[in-house]
Structures are given as structure tokens and as C-alpha cells.
Amino acid sequence: MIAILSVRLDPMRSLPIALAAVMALFSAPSAAAIPVLGSGPLENQPQFIGGPAKPRPVKAEKIPRHPFMARNGRSVIHSDAYQTDTHTVSGPLGRDIETRSTLQTAECASVTFDRRGRIVTVCVGLQGPRLVMMDPRTLEEIASFALPLRNPASLPSVFTDFSGGGYFYLDDRDRAVVPTTDGRILVIRETTAPGFRLERSYGVASELERAEGINSALPDWDGRLWFVGTRGTVGVVDPQSGSVNSTSLGEDIENSFAVDRNGGVYIVTDRALYRFDASRTGAPRVSWRETYANDGKQKPGQTDDASGTTPTLIGKRLVAITDNADPVAIDVFQRGRGVDGRRLVCRAPVFERGASATDQSLIAAGRSIIAENNHGYTGIAATMDGRTTQPGIERVDLDRDGRGCRRVWRSEVRAPSVVPKLSLANGLVYTYTKEPTSDGTDPWYLTALDYRTGRTVYRAYAGSGFGFNNNYAPVTIGPDGTAYVGVIGGLVSFRDGG
């Protein structure tokens, strides 16, 4: 899940404070990378805790490369079309880590990389979203492209509205495919200059419900462009003719979706998990629908009374989400159009009753699934003045016979809202943490956990204050092994020195 400047404690009291603070934090962007306010060596926080890791690669089934998307790990927020949140390259091992940041007027959450290794990201803020190209080492801005603005009348919803650019993908031709706030899906190509130029626009506003935004758009393996709306619209665009077919589920959709090489499109609503396939005419067709356990409550740390996960595909036959019980559980289903026996393979509760919520996608590698606890993240105020959220990152493994699952380990670190990632090359789980403090300070750290044991290997300091709050943005590992985290102030990078 991606959110931008989400405020939920007391809208009448917190919203004006947050708005004033954000506007005071930001200055006009420039090409040079100006550090995020609050960073620097003068801050009285440990810069590094722990020690360097020794790489221990993790074996996992290779995820198919999508023919219409950029290379795995470089194309989309959750790493690939299967939404596994794994990277095949090694992230920083903790050797003399160098940290940089760039101050933007927005949070640069979803980070992708073109064939030259340059960052292509959408930065979303109060003034509206921008498509931005950056140097991956210096974080200097190379080019930008303004995307449609938000309606000023809907300003309060900017804090909880993830549509209109939060999710986008980079295609196989280095084109950014971006849903917009005015009911379009834009295809924006890179120019030689370098820069960006609009190549094509698909209008889908007529398919949407009143005041419905587009959450996400992804291609299937035949190149059809699927999209989902916040109020339950599922649509398919023919990329050649621009014709659109859609259906309305009547259930809210808060997240992105997954696509597999066999034509399956997996979408989770606030009530059920669906598999869609395209009909002979290219229209979206429900292949199956499975409800999940739901106590009907929006827990602190969630944006709806629903699963907080984008579906994650596991191997050739499984799909996983979290449900909305108390405690929440990891639910694993058979994903084929037709199955023998029950579709639900296993259900594993995670975290503690009354202190369990997740609004982040699952990590999946082999038979292992990793979930993060976001309970208590009600917005930026929840992690200010020394406060933070409930602890917990847990690994659950599927049994070898495929008939159940079991907990392997639990880490007590506190990751308020980040999308964690696993490096298959070195065996580290990367998250972004904030522990409680008694002195009212708010330090944020890139934190590396041992995939096999859950032990904290190291923590690398990002900075202090709400400008370094990632607010639902992910950790992303770049082609050269640099880890990036989008933050309210812009973007932070971490790389091994030497």
C-alpha cells in the first residue's frame, strides 16, 4: 500500500498541523540534490548499529520476466508482476554505509530503473504528482514531467488517496505507464535530451464510478492493459485501439494487483480475493471469488476494513494475502481456474490479538512468506515525539506437502508502514524502522534482518523527524545494490562504501 502524508488521529486537529509542517519543510526543488531537512552528522543519533553481513543466498523459484514490463526488480513497486517483493541483486551488506537524501516537494515512493540504470519515480505531494528521473548515485534530478493535479476541493483526501500515480509501472521500452487523477492512463516515453514526452493517453473516466480514482494499471501476458478503481471497477484497455471493457464489483479496492503468465489477474477487494481472466472479446471475466475472514473493523494501521495486501503469487499454483481477522492471518489459496478440494491451502495467524494489522504486501520466496505488523500507524503523528507502532515481522513457511503452514520466526523490530524487501542474493530482509524513544526524538533506520533467523544484523541511520517518515513507501534495491526508501521529504539512499 502507498499513502502520501496520511493523517488519521484527529482530522480537525492534526490536519492543519500536518499541512503547516509539510509546507514549512519543503522548498522549491532544484536539479541539485538538496538533503532532506534534518539530515546530517550533527544529529545526536548512532549512525550504525550492528555489523556487516556475510552473504547467504536464498534459493527460490525464478519469477518469469513479464514481456511487457521492465526487468524484474526494476519495473514496479513490488519488484515484479508476481508482486513477490524480492530482488535477485544484493542490497547493502552494512560495510561503511553511505547515506544520501534528496529534498523534493513530495514523497517519491515507487522507484523503478530504466535500461541506463537511472531512477524513474512518481513523486506525489500536496501540489500534485510528478514523474521524475534522477541520477541513482547523486539523486540529482535529471528531468520531470508534471502529472494532472488533484481537485483542491478534495484536499483532505490527499492524505488517504493512493490513486493517480502512487502505483505505476515501467514497461519493456522504458515508458512509464501512469494512472492519473483525471481518469486517464498515460504512456510517457523518455527522450534523448534526456527528458519525458507523452506518447499516448487512454481515457477510462467513463468506466469509473462517480469520484472513483484509478489505483493501479498493469499489463497481462498478452499486452492488454488492466486497471482497477478505488470503488471496485475492473477494466481492460486494448492498447492498439484504445477500446475499454469494464465491470463493477461494488467492493472497494485499496491496493494493486498481480498477473501471472497463464492469464490470471488477481485482485483483492475489501471483501474477497478474485481471479480474473480475459474473455474472448477481451473483457474482464471473474474466474473465481473467495471471501476471507473479516471482523469488519478498520484497525489502526489500515486504510480500510479489509486485507491490506496486494496479492502475492507463489510458484506456479498459489496466491497469498492477509485477511482482516483479529489477529490477522496469512491466507494461501490455490490460484488455478479449477481446483480439487478446498481452494484455501492454509491460514496462519500473525502478531497478537488486539495489536495486529498490516497494510503492506507479503514477501514470498520459495515456501516462505514474510509479513509486517503496521498496527498503530494512524498517520505521521503516530511516529512523532518519540512515539511509534506495535512491533513484529514474522516469517511463515508452507509445509512441504502443501497442506499447511507454520511460524518460523518473529522479529520484534517496529516498522510502522514500509514495504519490506528480501534480497535473494544475500539473504537479508530490508525494512525501515523507528523504535520508541524517551527523549522525544524520532530517528529512522534502514534495518537488515537475517532471512533464516529473523535476527537484526544491522541498522543504518537515515535521519530524524517526520521528513524521514516513509509513510507506506517501499524499500527498493537498485541494480548496483543501493537501497532506496521514499520518505515524506523525498528519497533516501543507502549504499556500501569502499
Give the number of residues written for the chain: 498
pLDDT tier, 11 (very low <50, low <70, confident <90, very high otherwise): very low
Looking at residue 152, what is its pLDDT?
A: 53
How distant is the alpha carbon of residue 247 from its chain centre?
25
Region 408-435 average pLDDT: 98
Residue 469, amino acid:
N
If one counts every other C-beta atom within 10 angstroms of the C-beta of residue 61, the result is: 14
Residue 77, amino acid:
I
Q: E strand or H helix at 19, and its extent?
A: helix 11-25
This prediction has a pTM of 0.94
Angle, CA 417 vertex, CA 12 and CA 457 arms, to 5°: 145
Contacts of 304 (CB under 8 A, 6+ apart): 252, 254, 270, 298
Residue 119's nearest CA partner among 487, 498, 479 is 479
* Selected residue with higher pLDDT from 477 and 41: 477
Per-residue pLDDT tens digits for 61-83 = 999 999 999 999 999 999 999 99
What is the C-alpha separation between 313 and 319, in angstroms, rounded?
A: 4
* Selected residue with higher pLDDT from 246 and 153: 246
What is the C-alpha separation between 3 and 158, in angstroms, rounded?
A: 9
Contacts of 276 (CB under 8 A, 6+ apart): 226, 234, 264, 265, 266, 267, 284, 285, 286, 287
How do strand 284-291 and strand 312-314 relate by DSSP bridges? unpaired
Is the four-CA dihedral 52, 371, 274, 300 of positive or negative sign?
Answer: negative
> What is the residue-averaged pLDDT of the chain?
91
What is the C-alpha separation between 466 and 489, in angstroms, rounded?
A: 8
- Three-state DSSP class for 383? helix
Cell of 112: 523503478
Task: Tell me whether residue 5 is in a domain.
Answer: no
How distant is the alpha carbon of residue 418 from its chain centre?
8
Is the four-CA dihedral 250, 251, 253, 254 of positive or negative sign?
Answer: positive
Is the four-CA dihedral 230, 233, 237, 242 of positive or negative sign?
Answer: negative
How do strand 169-170 and strand 176-179 relate by DSSP bridges? antiparallel
Task: Tell me whether residue 155 is in a domain.
Answer: yes
- 22, 490 Cβ separation under 8 angstroms: no
Domain total for the chain? 1
Cell of 367: 515456501
- 393, 372 Cβ separation under 8 angstroms: yes
Residue 389's nearest CA partner among 417, 409, 370 is 417
What is the C-alpha separation between 123 and 137, in angstroms, rounded?
A: 18
Task: Tell me whether residue 419 is in a domain.
Answer: yes
Q: 194 preceded by cis ω (within 30°)?
A: yes
Looking at residue 1, what is its pLDDT?
A: 55
What is the C-alpha separation between 368 and 255, in angstroms, rounded?
A: 22
Per-residue pLDDT tens digits for 71-121 = 999 999 999 999 999 999 999 999 999 999 999 978 999 999 999 999 999
- 182, 171 Cβ separation under 8 angstroms: no
361 pLDDT higher than 80: yes
- Three-state DSSP class for 10? coil
What is the C-alpha separation between 441 and 438, in angstroms, rounded?
A: 8
Task: Tell me whether residue 229 is in a domain.
Answer: yes
Contacts of 189 (CB under 8 A, 6+ apart): 173, 174, 175, 196, 197, 199
What is the C-alpha separation between 350 and 323, in angstroms, rounded?
A: 10
Region 351-377 average pLDDT: 97
Tell me the chain's radius of gyration from C-alpha atoms: 21
Cell of 18: 500536518
Cell of 320: 497469498
Cell of 325: 481477522
436 pLDDT higher than 50: yes
Per-residue pLDDT tens digits for 45-55 = 899 999 999 99
Beta bridge partners of 428: 423, 450
If one counts every other C-beta atom within 10 angstroms of the C-beta of residue 35, the result is: 18
Task: Tell me whether residue 6 is in a domain.
Answer: no
pLDDT tier, 166 (very low <50, low <70, confident <90, very high otherwise): confident
Region 144-173 average pLDDT: 73
How distant is the alpha carbon of residue 199 from its chain centre?
26
- 133, 196 Cβ separation under 8 angstroms: yes
Which residue range forms the structural domain that includes residue 174?
Answer: 11-495
CATH number at residue 200: 2.130.10.10
- Three-state DSSP class for 173? coil
What is the C-alpha separation between 378 and 303, in angstroms, rounded?
A: 9
How distant is the alpha carbon of residue 109 from its chain centre?
8
Per-residue pLDDT tens digits for 15-46 = 444 444 444 444 444 467 899 987 455 567 89
Looking at residue 159, what is its pLDDT?
A: 47
- 332, 326 Cβ separation under 8 angstroms: no
Task: Tell me whether residue 4 is in a domain.
Answer: no
Per-residue pLDDT tens digits for 194-213 = 999 999 999 999 999 998 99
Task: Tell me whether residue 452 is in a domain.
Answer: yes
Residue 200, amino acid:
R
